[in-house]
Amino acid sequence: MIPPQVGTSARIPLTDEEKEICKAGARPPHMSDITWRIFRIMAEFVEGFQFLSTTSRQISVFGSARAPAGSKWYEESVKLGRMLGQNGFTVITGGGPGIMEAANKGAYETGAMSVGLNIQLPKEQRINPYVTSSRAFYYFFTRKVMLAASAQAYVFFPGGYGTLDELFEILTLIQTGKSEKIPVVLVGREYWDPLKTWLKEAVYGTYDAVDRADLDLPKVVDTAEEAYALVAKSSERHFF
């Protein structure tokens, strides 16, 4: 790609919100106005951290937005959310449907803090009705930071690319020492064991791309009770 010449008006694509601003007569953000977006990103970080600072004993729960109510892992997520809520934990999810909804539902039913950090996506995403406190994000990466920043444990149910992306980012932060060694719990042996086998046999065994100790960072369990037993041993992080 040929870089734009100095003095040209090369642009970055406008967001829907920015398009509305332009329709209202305001000047669109050109490349020379990149600080406009930088301040928007900064605002999401500042507001997100302020929002999370009002909660304590946070557990972040991840999983597929497509898991239907009544399915095995949806119900296990409800059960885990309920146990967390009954024992004074704050349940944090991405605020959407599926596994996220289930964890929020379990916490909601106990009257505990049920937090949703939501994002607008073309498909799947909507704020679920069991969120009692929420924050909306436009940028995916700022939301991911908020989901990981202050939780004292992470619980992953079966999910798609988004869930796997969040899992490997958190494992990378722990592996590289950029994050404290926080419990990472994977619920569902039938889903996660093949991944653990691939990491052990291919990533470690064949390619030597990780250390042997890295394989032990995530713990695989099969029930909400087992997940809670690991989470309950975690210590609150004083990030703020």
- Over the stretch 188-201, which tens digit does the pLDDT of each residue have? 999 999 999 999 99
Q: Is the pLDDT of residue 49 over 50?
A: yes
**Which pTM was predicted?**
0.84
26-49 per-residue burial string, b: 16 or more CB within 10 A, e: under 16:
eeebeeeeeeeeeebeeebbeebe
Ranges of H-type helices in the chain: 16-23, 34-52, 72-86, 99-109, 140-149, 161-175, 189-198, 224-231
CA distance 151 to 208: 30
How would you list the strands of the sheet with 184-187, edge to edge? 133-137, 114-119, 90-93, 58-62, 153-156, 184-187, 218-221
CA distance 121 to 161: 14
Quote the pLDDT of residue 153. Answer: 98
Quote the pLDDT of residue 138. Answer: 86
Give the range among 108-112, 162-166, 217-221, 236-240 with minimum mean pLDDT. Answer: 236-240
Specify the amino acid at residue 223. T
Domains of the chain listed by start with CATH number: 57-231 (3.40.50.450)
CA distance 182 to 55: 18
